[in-house]
Structure 1
Amino acid sequence: MTIRAGVAGQPISHSLSPLLHGLWIEAAALDAAYEAFGPQDEAGFADLIASGRAGNLRGLNVTAPFKEQALAAADVVSPTARTCGSANLLVFEDGRLSADSTDGQGLMLALSEQAPAFDAKGASVVVLGAGGAARAAVVALKAAGAEVAVLNRTRERAETLSVELGCSVADPDAVRDAALIVNALSVRPEIDIAALRDDAVLMDMTYKPLITPFLAAGLARGLTTVDGLAMLIGQARPSFEALFGFAPPPVDVRAAALARLGETA
């Protein structure tokens, strides 16, 4: 019987997840399908979950705006997802729903791939933003031993996150001494790149464009940069394994994703 899985979000047409998982499914010769689902609202997402509980789906990756609803709907929640306050992976088994978050794994895999010299243990890290993406970054980096501080335009939101996750609240000048700066905002951060350390690593969670203005400024300065596509592929790998039962086969999905995005590097 065909294994059905997919990604749910709104909007969803831009998602690269069906491309990535589809290439792995093809390479592994699986009898499986990975589809994009675009529920219009919470009720539509609830219907999708009900379909999964009924045995019509093996699982779902979940993106905005349904990650918190996904967590709340689960019968079993991983410690990581509970700490993050959201889930991007749902797996159905015998009518029960398990929730997990692989965003942090994606972040750490991206760092190991594109900034191999960076050692998180004891490193000073500043995460820009205080939303769901920032929470996942903080949880993963703290687990890796980093000293994490959050910088957000609204300081109250950063303070709330710091209390919940055990990180600190950064002042704007903190980026000067950071070994790693992670942009978890959807816009370009207002940072003086010239004031950063010579060995600073810049990471942007956005992958469209691949080289954001933040990363472009870092590259012009000669800094090491990590793009959001590496993180997207990184979080998809453990998702594929959870959904289909084994690690993704060795396929160059990044090249296919770059072609889809119209990028060349």
Structure 2
Amino acid sequence: MGYKFVLIGYPIDHSLSPWIHKQFLEKSKIQGSYSIYEIEPDDSFQDKIAALKDNEINGFNVTAPYKQRIIPFLDEIDRSAEVIGAVNTVVNQDGKWIGYNTDGMGYLRSLKSKYPSFYTDKSSRILIIGAGGAARGVYYGLVSEGFKYIDITNRTVENATEIAKLKAEDTNTSILPFHEVAKYLDNYDLIVQTTSVGMKPSSDRSVFSMDTIKAGCIVSDIIYQPIETKFLKEAQRTGALVHFGHTMLLYQAQYAFEIWTGKKVPLESMDHQLKLILEGR
């Protein structure tokens, strides 16, 4: 029979998840399939989910706009999904649907694979730009990893303040005014850009000038279209180290596959293959 996995969301006809998970199935020598299950806005979400349950699938990914809407249809959600307030991975465990959020772990794994030495000093200073769902996942992941100084900047201060409520007892988080943050960039060892600014087709945009960052700072952008955003180009010009968004996509998918099958598939050359695919789009 083999495993049956799907992706739900809308629109998802150009999603890279089928390619990624088919690679995982081949690498792990597991029989199975991964397909798209598009739910259009005019469809009955409840009926579509009921049909999915009838298909007895082993697991599925959830993408926009259904990461919150799926939650009432699940039997359980794990701590990360509860805290982040969104589910992107569901596993069928003995007939129970259990929801997870793999974004935080995916980000941590992708960063550690590129810059493992960063994890030796938990007092490194970190700045997160943005306060949406992705920022929430990244912040929670970094807090869970034990980093003690994580600041947030966002145009809407209230949203950033909500994320800061996820901090641990020994986490220090300041909310910085967006229009002033460029003055303080040289304080940080890691800067994570989580907004959609600079994404295709507006790839000529950047959140703000990177002229004041210090050499050796790791600058990360979760956008992967384009792979090298204007934000990252400006950071490289000032001597920063860069971290590309497509690797987070791979590692959060790796964690989802691990939840479904119990197997952690080594990515090997997949980041380079995915980069070539994205550059050809």
TM-score after normalising by structure 2: 0.86
- 3-state SS, counterpart of residue 151 of structure 1: strand
Amino acid at match of 2:270: V
Distance verdict in 2 for CA 1:250–1:211, change over 3 Å: closer
- Once residues 13 and 129 of structure 1 are traced to their aligned partners in structure 2, the CA distance between those partners, rounded to angstroms, is 27
Aligned to 1:155: 157
* Distance in 1 of aligned mates of 2:165 and 2:267: 41
Aligned to 2:132: 131
Shift of 1:193: 1.3
RMSD of aligned Cα (Å): 2.2
Deviation at 1:29, TM superposition (A): 3.1
Of 63-72 and 18-27, deviating more is: 63-72
Pairing 1:166-185 to 2, within 5 Å after superposition: 167-171=173-177, 172=181, 173-185=183-195
Structure-to-structure mapping, 1:23-172, within 5 angstroms: 23-41=23-41, 44-119=44-119, 121-146=122-147, 147-165=149-167, 167-171=173-177, 172=181
| SS of aligned partner of 1:194 | coil
Instruction: Give, as a single letter, the amino acid of the residue that structure 1 aligns with 2:196.
Output: S
SS at match of 2:158: helix
SS state at 2:36 partner: strand
Paired letter, 2:3: I
Paired with 1:179 and 1:123, the residues of 2 have a C-alpha distance of 6
1:71 and 1:81 in contact (8 A); partners too: no
Q: How does 1:231-242 map to 2 (within 5 A)?
A: 231-242=248-259
Following TM superposition, by how much is the alpha carbon of 1:244 offset from its aligned partner in structure 2, in angstroms? 2.6
Q: Percent identity?
A: 29
> 2:208 matched to 1:191?
yes
Contact preservation (8 Å) 1:8, 1:36? yes
For 1:142, give the aligned amino acid. V
Letter of the structure 2 residue corresponding to residue 230 of structure 1: T
**Unpaired segments ≥5 residues, structure 2:** 199-205
- For residues 54 and 32 of structure 2, what CA distance do their matches in structure 1 show? 18
Which residue identity lines up with residue 80 of structure 1 in the other structure? S
More helix by share: 1
Instruction: Read off the aligned partner of 1:169 and give its amino acid letter.
Output: I
The one-letter code sitting in structure 2 at the alignment partner of 1:91 is V
Q: Where does structure 1 lack aligned partners over 5 or more consecutive residues?
A: none
**Is the Cα contact below 8 Å between 1:70 and 1:88 reproduced in 2?**
no
- Is 1:67–1:86's contact at 8 Å kept on the other side of the alignment? yes
- Taking the TM superposition and a 5 Å limit, the aligned residue runs for 1:206-221 are 206-221=223-238
CA change 1:175–1:42 in 2 (3 A) is farther
Aligned residue pairs, count:
264
**Deviation per residue, 1:46-102 (Å, 9 max, x gap):** 444323433531111111111112333321111111111111111123432101111
Query: 1:45 offset after TM fit, Å?
Result: 4.3
SS at structure 1 position matched to 2:127: strand
Give the residue type in structure 1 aligned to 2:163: L
